[in-house]
Amino acid sequence: MGPEVSLPIALVIGYLLGSIPFGLVLTRIAGTQDLRSIGSGNIGATNVLRTGRKGLAAATLLGDMLKGTAAVLIAGYLGGPGAAMLAALGAFLGHLFPVWLRFKGGKGVAVYIGILLGLFWPAAAAFCLIWLATAFTSRYSSLSALIASVITPPFLWWFGHAGFAMLFAVLTLLLFYMHRENIKRLVAGTESKIGAKQADVVPRDDDSHGS
C-alpha cells in the first residue's frame, strides 16, 4: 500500500475508532438511563460515574484511552510513522466530534493519553504524573489535564520527537477549546473540585473531569 493511499486510510481508521462512544455503549448495555440526559450530558467517564456505576466509569476511561492507542498502533503497522500520526489526529477528532452523535462527543483527555501511550509511552507516564500532582494540590481535574497537556509538547520536543510535539501542540489547542467552559469557571472560582458532591455539580454543561 503506497503512502498516498495509506495516509487517508489512516485518518479514516483513526476517526472511526475514536468516534466509538464507549460511555454511551456501556451504559446502554448496563441498562442505565441515557447518559446524555444526566449530569453534564457528556459521554465521558466522569458522567458515567454520575450513574453510580464505578466499574462502568473505569471501563469507559479504559476504552476511550485504548481506542486512541489502537488507532496509532494499527495505522503505524500498516503505513508507518506518518500514518500513525494521522490516525492519532483522526482518533482525537473522532472522540470530540463523533458522527454518530451529531458531532457532540467527549472532552478528549482519555484519548489524548491513549494516543501518547501508542506514540511515546514515557510522555503518557509524564502526563499522568503531572495530572496527579496538580490534582493532589488543586483538586481541579480540568486544571490538571490542561497543565499536563501544556507540558506535553515541550516534553516530546526535548526527547527528540519534533513531529509528535507539533501534533500534540494541535491536540492541546483542541483540548483547551473543549474545556473552554471549565476555564471560565476556573477563572470565576466556580469550577467543581474532585470529590464534590453531586449537588455541587453544575448540570448539563459541566464536565470538569470528562474524558
Domains of the chain: total? 2
**pLDDT of 112-167, one tens digit each?**
999 999 999 999 999 999 999 999 999 898 999 999 999 999 999 999 999 999 99
Cell numbers at 81, concatenated: 510513522
What is the pLDDT at residue 37? 61
Q: Which residue has the higher pLDDT, 13 or 196?
A: 13
**Would you say residue 175 lies in a domain?**
yes
| 96 & 130 share domain | no
pLDDT recorded at residue 1 = 52
> For the purposes of burial, counting CB atoms within 10 Å of the CB of 159, is it exposed (0-12), middle (13-18) or buried (19 or more)?
middle
Mark whether 128 and 93 lie in a shared domain: no
Same-domain pairing of 38 and 89: yes
68: nearest Cα among 105, 111, 97: 111
- Given 62, 81, 106, the domain boundary residue is 106
Residue type, 123: A
pLDDT score at 185: 92
The answer to whether residue 130 sits within a structural domain is: yes
Claim to verify: residue 5 and residue 100 sit in the same structural domain: yes
Q: Do 1 and 94 reside in the same domain of the chain?
A: yes
Q: Is 207 part of any domain? A: no
The residue among 139 and 6 whose pLDDT is bigger is 139
Residues 6 or more apart whose CB falls under 8 angstroms from that of 131 comprise 144, 145, 147, 148
pLDDT at 57: 80
Note whether 1 and 69 are same-domain residues.
yes
Residues 174 and 91 in one domain: no
* 178 CB-near residues (< 8 Å, 6+ apart): 96, 106, 107, 108
| Closest by Cα among 18, 50, 34 to 203 | 50
Q: Answer for the pair 93, 18: CB distance below 8 angstroms, yes or no.
A: yes
Whether residues 29 and 101 share a domain: the answer is yes
Q: What pLDDT is stored for residue 207 in this prediction?
A: 45
Mean pLDDT of all residues in 4-14: 84
Cell of 60: 469507559
Check whether residue 193 and residue 138 sit in a common domain: yes
The verdict on residue 134 lying in a domain is: yes
Judge whether 187 lies within some domain: yes
pLDDT surpassing 70 at residue 195: no
- Are 151 and 53 in the same domain? no
In sequence order, the 6+-apart residues with CB closer than 8 A to the CB of 124 are 113, 114, 116, 117
Domain boundary among 58, 77, 106: 106
Domain of 144 in residue numbering reads as: 120-197
Both 7 and 92 in one domain: the answer is yes
pLDDT tens digits, residue range 14-60?
999 999 988 878 878 877 776 666 666 677 776 676 666 778 888 88
The residue to which cell 476555564 is assigned: 183
Last residue of a domain, one of 83, 106, 129: 106
- In angstroms, rounded to a whole number, what is the distance separating the alpha carbons of residues 89 and 97? 12
For residues 44 and 41, what is the distance between their CA atoms, to the nearest angstrom? 9
Both 156 and 86 in one domain: the answer is: no
